[in-house]
Homo-oligomer: A and B are copies of this chain.
Amino acid sequence: MNAKKTLRLNPEDNIVVAIADLPAGSAVEGEIVTRARVPRGHKTASRFIATGEPIRKFGQVIGFASTDIEPGDWVHEKNVTMGEDFDRDYAFASEARPPEGPRTDETPAFFEGYKRADGRAGTRNYIGILSSVNCSATVVDYVADEINRSGILDDYPGIDGIVPLPHGQGCGMAGRGEAFDVLSRTQWGYASHPNFAAVLLVGLGCEVFQIPRMKDTYGIAEGDHFQSLTIQEIGGTRKAVEAGVARIREMLPFAARSKREPISASELTLALQCGGSDGYSGLTANPALGFAADMLVRQGGTAILSETPEIYGAEHLLTRRAESAEVGQKIVDLIHWWEDYTSRNGGEMNNNPSPGNKAGGLTTILEKSLGAVAKGGTSTLRGVYRYAERIDRKGFVYMDTPGYDPVAATGQVAGGANVLCFTTGRGSAYGCKPVPSIKLATNNELYARMTDDMDINCGDVIDGVPLEVKGREIFEAILAISSGKPSKSELLGYGRNEFVPWQIGAVM
């Protein structure tokens, strides 16, 4: 597009990023020219920065000037410090803002979705088949296969399909405690997900994860929305498949009664994901997605940032954006939980920039973590949730998850996400059911190489497409795909293997 050699990530930034190797004397912005060589991916000052002043990237603090920095200077380790106590000062809620609402140039946004009995909105109209334990996974698959083979779904064009969600857990675990609670929340989050018109839960019978107990815990009554059966009670695999098929057939007319209707974008809950990041992630797709997330939040919708190991080191930026000290403290608590979790499993939390990261232009842990945080935009943090916990606040929220893609997304979907955006630089093939997943390529080369898997190319941000324009494109795609347009991973049929609940405890 144009020949711009630097990228401005936020209007408030006092640096821009070189998107090519810049010899000394290269044009930066306005009158400014580089005063030294600035390697590709590195930062140059876009105005004078006095000693001690914060360096801002993505509009957020990534460090402080350790010396006066002139416009056009290369900004890196020699003139940036993390500041004495900045990373120990949570400054809870110091940057919180009241909810904004749409800007004057923005009109209320809608999508075509399904209104569910519990008040939430669906973006798809599936019937789900869950397994309480790996021991019933194959029956779950077979019920779905037999319904699909029967051709009966041809009579129900308003049903998007049957989604079997086998998994590897459900027994060989303690019947109480953290690991059990995580699995319970995940199963209930899926069983009650607004993208399912109805759900069948199949168990073996003697597993630790008991269906009657789950029904009791969440007050689930069997009926049109929810049915269950166990292989042991019903007399084996064949009879369980037959019974499951019969139950699904009974659910079809009920499920087919759901119709799409216009619903405010405030009912969208967007899961933010990244996987297979590269040097472009923090420059193109992540900040573009951040713009889209901010747009959705202004529309009254919800955006969920997650992947705690990848935001580690930038948590005190989230505490500043928290709406209250209580919300901020939850971020601090989960960081401490993670330090314990990794250390008692023989690992450690460490998101420090590696020598390779530094060579690529990442100066501080803040800057590295912000590359991931950027996809959450800049809105005030309204809530912090445990893995798979039901999201009950609008606006920008945080859910604790691992960074591992299928596990992270499973938690967000269990929490109620009804649309998902996934940025990738190396090329992820991820796709989810029952929630449409929109994949954003961080670079042109990936988009060209894996076009069948990629929904949106954000690589052209480097060619001059403004981040805000790209953000609007993503937001429009969110509305269109939430309204029924299939995403690339849906066209490919992904989602039967990608339900992976977080296994936290000992397998016994």
Contact = CB atoms under 8 A, between A and B. Distances in A.
Interface string A429-445: 11100000000000000
A169 to B, nearest CB: 9
Closest 6 CB pairs of A and B: A172-B404, A137-B497, A236-B450, A345-B506, A206-B426, A168-B500
Given A238-B492, A404-B508, A427 B232 contact: yes
B138 A498 contact: yes
A204 B508 contact: no
11 contacts: A134-B498, A135-B275, A135-B429, A137-B497, A168-B407, A237-B492, A239-B452, A309-B508, A345-B506, A347-B508, A503-B503
A408 to B, nearest CB: 8
A496 B429 contact: no
A132 to B, nearest CB: 13
Q: Which of A427, A451, A493 has its CB near the most chain B CB atoms (within 10 A)? A: A427
A232 B238 CA distance: 39
Given A452-B237, A497-B137, A206 B492 contact: no
A144 to B, nearest CB: 12
Given A235-B450, A347-B505, A500-B168, A428 B135 contact: yes
Interface of A: 134-139, 141-142, 166-168, 171-174, 177-179, 204-206, 231-232, 235-240, 275-276, 309, 341-342, 344-347, 402-407, 426-431, 449-453, 492-494, 496-498, 500, 502-508
Contact of A236 (B141, B172, B451): B451
Contacts of A239: 452
A426 B138 contact: no
A476 to B, nearest CB: 24
B507 A231 contact: no
B406 A168 contact: yes
The complex is assembled from copies of this chain, and their number is: 2
B344 A172 contact: no
B276 A426 contact: no
B347 A231 contact: no
Given A498-B137, A506-B341, A429 B236 contact: yes
Contacts of A138: 429, 431, 492-494, 496-498
Contacts of A496: 138, 141
Contacts of A238: 452, 492
Given A452-B238, A496-B141, A136 B429 contact: yes
Nearest to A402: B507
Nearest to A348: B174
Contact of A172 (B141, B402, B426, B430): B402
Contact of A167 (B168, B206, B450): B168
B427 A347 contact: no
Contacts of A429: 135-136, 138-139, 204, 231, 236-237, 240
Contacts of A497: 134, 137-138, 141, 166
Nearest to A489: B237
A105 B428 CA distance: 61
A276 B233 CA distance: 13
A404 B347 contact: no
Contacts of A168: 167-168, 406-407, 500
Contacts of A494: 138, 237
A388 B451 CA distance: 39
Q: Which of A174, A239, A406, A496 has its CB near the most chain B CB atoms (within 10 A)? A: A406
Contacts of A205: 276, 426-427
A506 B347 CA distance: 8
A204 B500 CA distance: 17
B137 A507 contact: no
A496 to B, nearest CB: 7
A405 B449 contact: no
Contacts of A493: 138, 142
Q: Which of A345, A347, A502 has its CB near the most chain B CB atoms (within 10 A)? A: A345
Q: Which of A430, A453, A503 has its CB near the most chain B CB atoms (within 10 A)? A: A453
A136 B430 CA distance: 9
A231 B427 contact: yes
Contacts of A204: 276, 427-429
Contacts of A142: 493
B134 A500 contact: yes
Nearest to A426: B206
Contacts of A404: 171-173, 507-508
Nearest to A241: B492
Contacts of A134: 405-406, 497-498, 500
A296 to B, nearest CB: 27
A486 to B, nearest CB: 14
Contact of A403 (B172, B240, B426, B503): B172
